[in-house]
Amino acid sequence: MARPLVGIIGNQHMISDTYRVHAGGYHNSAAVSKVADCVPVIIPTDPDLMNVDDLLDHFDGFVFTGGRANVHPVEYGQEATEAHGTFDRERDRITLPLIRALTERGQPYIGICRGFQEVAVAYGSTLHPEIRELPGRFNHRMPKDGTQEEIFELRQCVTFAEGGVFHHLMGDRQVMTNTLHGQGVDVAGERIVVDGLADDGTPEALYVKNAPGFTLSVQWHPEFNAENDPVSTRLFHAFGDAVRDWVARGSRPKLKSA
C-alpha cells in the first residue's frame, strides 16, 4: 500500500538577493518520512500557483512549518510595527484558509512554531510580537551562535494540562523541549485550547476545540532529531497514525481521470 502523501508548507526567500525560491527544512521532511512514515512533499505556498481546493484534493495530511517571516498582524486585527518583523503574505493567504478547511473536514495536520501561531490566528487568537518584553517572561528566541545541536538544545520545560490530550499522548505532564521563537500567543481564540505552557506561562501546545481530526500544534521544533527524541517521536507517530486513519476511512479525495 502506498504511503500517505503529506504536504509540508514551504517558505520563500531569495538566493543572493536575486533568485526567488520556495524551500523547506530537511528535518521537516525527515520527520514526516522516517517517523510519521508518510511521503513528504514541499508546497510552494503562493496563491498565484495553487489554491486551497488544489491542496485538499491531492494531500492526506499537512505540516505547517516554522519560518522566519511572521503572520501579518492584520490577520488578528492589529497594525504592523517594526517589532513584528518580516512577513510572507502569500503564505498567509494559503495557510489560514487551509487550516480552517482542514479542521472542519477532520483532515489531520500538525502546526510547528509559525505553524502553531497560524493555527491560533486562524481561530481568532492574537499574537504578541516580542513575548520576552512581557512581565515575567524570558527570551525564547533562537541562540545566535552554536552548532545545530546547541541551537536546538532541550532547554525549555513544558507542562501539560492534567488529563489533557498532550498529557495522554506523552505519558507525562512535563517534557523538555527546545525553544526558538520570538512571538507567541497573547490572547487565545474561543476554539483554541492551550494544553501546554512553558515555565513562564507562554503557550507551547494547543489544539482546536471540537475538531473532528488531529490538530495538535506546538510552539517548539519537534522535527529536529525526531527519530531519537521521545517527545518528538510520539508526536510524529501520532500524526502519521492520524493520516493513515484518514486514508483508511476512505476520506482521501478520488481524483478524476482525464
Query: Residue 154: what pLDDT?
Result: 85
Q: Is the pLDDT of residue 97 over 90?
A: yes
Which of 65-74, 76-85, 86-95, 168-177 is the least confident region?
76-85
Domain spans, the chain: 5-132+147-248
Q: Is the pLDDT of residue 258 over 50?
A: no
The number of residues in the chain equals 258
- All 3 cell numbers of residue 206? 494547543
d(CA 217, CA 238): 12
What is each CA distance from 99 to 39, 111, 140, 190, in whole angstroms?
Answer: 20, 9, 25, 16
Tell the residue number behind the cell numbers 525560491, with chain if given. Answer: 21
- All 3 cell numbers of residue 99? 487550516
Query: Residue 141: what pLDDT?
Result: 67
Give one DSSP letter per residue of 172-186, joined into a string: SSEEEE----S-EES
Query: Residue 171: what pLDDT?
Result: 97
d(CA 126, CA 155): 26
- All 3 cell numbers of residue 134? 512581557
Which of 1-5, 79-83, 123-127, 178-182 is the least confident region?
79-83
Nearest to 253 by CA among 106, 99, 57, 100: 57
Q: Is the pLDDT of residue 257 over 50?
A: no
Q: Is the pLDDT of residue 204 over 60?
A: yes
For 10-44, what is each residue's pLDDT tens digit?
A: 998 888 888 988 889 999 999 999 999 999 999 99
- Give the CATH number of domain 5-132+147-248; options: 3.30.565.10, 3.90.1310.10, 3.30.70.1400, 3.40.50.880: 3.40.50.880
Structure-model confidence comparison of residues 90 and 84, the more confident one: 90
Residues 188, 195: contact at Cβ < 8 Å? no
Q: Which DSSP symbol is given to 70?
A: B
Query: Residue 139: what pLDDT?
Result: 64
For 150-203, what is each residue's pLDDT tens digit?
A: 677 788 999 999 999 999 999 999 999 998 877 889 999 999 999 999 998 999
Q: How confident is the model at residue 253 (pLDDT cuts 50, 70, 90)?
A: low
Query: Residue 138: what pLDDT?
Result: 72
Query: Residue 12: what pLDDT?
Result: 86
Structure-model confidence comparison of residues 57 and 236, the more confident one: 236
DSSP H helical ranges for the chain: 26-30, 52-58, 89-105, 114-122, 148-151, 165-170, 230-248
Tell whether the torsion through CA atoms of 185, 188, 192 and 195 is positive or negative.
positive
Tell the residue number behind the cell numbers 512533499, with chain if given. Answer: 41
Q: Is the pLDDT of residue 136 over 90?
A: no
The b-or-e profile of 73-96 (16+ CB within 10 A means b, else e) is: bebbeeeeeeebeebbebbbbbbb
The b-or-e profile of 195-217 (16+ CB within 10 A means b, else e) is: bbbbebebbbbbbbeebebbbbb
Give one DSSP letter per residue of 122-156, joined into a string: HTT--EES-GGGSTT----SPPSSS-HHHHT---E
